Amino acid sequence: MSAGMIMNLRLKVWRQPHGQAPGRMVTYTAAGISPDMSFLEMLDVVNDQLTLKGEIPIAFESDCREGICGACGLVINGVPHGPGKGTTTCQLYMRSFRDGDTIHIEPWRATAFPVIRDLVVDRSAFDRIMQAGGYTSVNTGSSPDGNALLIPQEVAEEAMDAAACIGCGACVASCKNASARLFVAAKVKHLGILPQGQPERGRRVLMMVEAMDREGFGNCTNEYECEAVCPKEISVGHIAFFNREYLKAGLKRR
């Protein structure tokens, strides 16, 4: 598509006034869209048009709009964050679509992520999982010297790979079981292989799994859908590490 072309699109958007109300797909026209716009900028244009008509704009989340926070999570044509690999919704550009396309836009679909309004869901379940075990014990006082704890480079790189998870929930939205295993596995490995994370290592995985189950997330059946849609391309290899950690912690507790 040439850079100067203007696009007209048909949107089918999930509208739901609040969590207890029934929702439905509503059709809108997105007119005069530049292919250089991001997907969220396109929605901003549509909302401006709705506001001028006196209609209620479409509610959706965004914050950094730089692919850092993951708040912009939308299911676009059945794919969390839409077409493209390793991108968030705010990094998706309209040149990925064609003039005249029909685009279906929905919120994350998971019991643990209840809809608040339209495309906005409550992802505080992830926060509660982190509160259950995603921390390390430190003594209060002045900050330790940066070189006080020596960490091998390969360990630091593995930890950073896992820490790249932004907790957007795309893995949950893509999984037929709405499993949060990739998210939890990334957090468990990030802290579990660093020396600072050793005091809680066994308890952490047990507490986070218990919290995950309480929130109503499903079980992992190794479909690899989570890895395919993850905007930070978190590997399912972390889940194998997580499974070993959980088994060892469970045996020690017994």
Quick: pLDDT tens for 27-46: 999 999 999 999 999 999 99
Tell me, what's the pLDDT at 149? Answer: 80
Quick: pLDDT tens for 230-239: 999 999 999 9
Matching fold, domains 7-116 and 123-253? no
CATH no. of 7-116: 3.10.20.30
More confident residue, 77 or 2: 77
Assess whether pLDDT exceeds 80 at residue 142: no
Residues with Cβ within 8 Å of 28's Cβ and at least 6 positions away in sequence, in order, are 10, 11, 13, 46, 50, 58
Tell me, what's the pLDDT at 150? Answer: 85
> Rounded mean pLDDT of 192-213?
93
Assess whether pLDDT exceeds 60 at residue 2: no
Assess whether pLDDT exceeds 60 at residue 209: yes
Extents of the domains making up the chain:
7-116, 123-253
At 6 the three-state DSSP class reads coil
Tell me, what's the pLDDT at 134? Answer: 81
Quick: pLDDT tens for 150-200: 889 999 999 999 999 999 999 999 999 999 999 999 999 999 999 888 889
Confidence band of 1 (pLDDT split at 50, 70, 90): low
Tell me, what's the pLDDT at 89? Answer: 97
Confidence band of 3 (pLDDT split at 50, 70, 90): low
Tell me, what's the pLDDT at 127? Answer: 96
CATH superfamily of 123-253: Alpha-helical ferredoxin (1.10.1060.10)
Tell me, what's the pLDDT at 4? Answer: 60
Q: 49: which 2 tokens?
A: 């048009």
Quick: pLDDT tens for 55-85: 999 999 999 999 999 999 999 999 999 998 9
Mean pLDDT, the chain, rounded, equals 93
Tell me, what's the pLDDT at 146? Answer: 67
Quick: pLDDT tens for 13-30: 999 999 999 999 999 999
Question: Using an 8 Å Cβ cutoff, are 201 and 192 in contact?
Answer: yes
Q: What percent of the chain has pLDDT over 90?
A: 87
Residues with Cβ within 8 Å of 198's Cβ and at least 6 positions away in sequence, in order, are none
Q: What percent of the chain has pLDDT over 70?
A: 96
Tell me, what's the pLDDT at 252? Answer: 86
CA distances from 164 to 3, 61, 67, 151 (A): 33, 21, 11, 18
Compute φ and ψ for 39, nearest 5 degrees: -60, -40
